[in-house]
């Protein structure tokens, strides 16, 4: 069998004394690898959570001001992430328009406008 290398650090050879299916050279490398992976995943989840919250706040603030429609550009400047929602309520196949759910709100994108409402 050839030399095996550590999944945490490809510069680390895996000693022959470690079991054949091992992917790390040491426990320490295993912990480092899993901790790094977990931290990366946590960051990705937190980014999605932040984007959902920002979208929610923007829609809520607009509806409180009786504004139910803004331009995509304005939405983006405000921090709205057009692809961050909590589901799809429906699709108008003829018009090619999806109604996106965002907790108890929904929005549709028509041309360069975003229209939202409370569901």
Please say whether the beta carbons of 113 and 62 come within 8 A.
no
In angstroms, give the least distance from the CB of 31 to Zn ion.
Answer: 10
Nearer to Zn ion, 5 or 103 (CB): 5
Closest approach, Cβ 40 to Zn ion, in A, equals 18
- Would you say 18 or 97 has its CB closer to Zn ion? 18
Helical ranges in 22-71 per DSSP H: 27-64
Q: Which residues are CB-neighbours of 75 under 8 A, at least 6 positions away?
A: 58, 82, 114
Question: Looking at beta carbons only, is 12 or 60 nearer to Zn ion?
Answer: 12
Least distance (Å) from Zn ion to the CB of residue 51?
A: 35
Q: Which is nearer to Zn ion, 32 or 86 (CB)?
A: 32
CB atoms within 10 A of CB 58: 22
Q: Which of 72, 92, 74, 94 is nearest to 83 (CA)?
A: 72
Measured from the CB of residue 12, what is the shortest distance to Zn ion in angstroms?
3
Q: Kindly list the residues in this chain that would bind Zn ion in the complex (CB under 5 A).
A: 6, 8-9, 12, 25, 29
Determine the distance from the C-alpha atom of residue 14 to the mean position of all C-alpha atoms in its chain, rounded to a whole number: 35
């Amino acid at each position: 069998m050839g030399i095996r290398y550590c999944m945490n650090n490809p510069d680390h050879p895996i000693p022959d004394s470690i079991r054949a299916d091992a992917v790390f050279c040491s426990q320490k490398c295993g912990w480092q690898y899993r901790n790094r992976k977990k931290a990366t995943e946590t960051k990705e989840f937190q980014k999605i959570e932040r984007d959902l919250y920002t979208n929610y706040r923007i829609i809520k603030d607009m509806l409180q001001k009786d504004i139910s429609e803004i331009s995509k550009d304005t939405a983006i400047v405000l921090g709205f992430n057009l692809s961050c929602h909590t589901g799809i309520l429906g699709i108008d196949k003829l018009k090619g328009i999806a109604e996106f759910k965002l907790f108890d709100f929904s929005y549709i994108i028509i041309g360069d406008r975003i229209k939202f409402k409370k569901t």
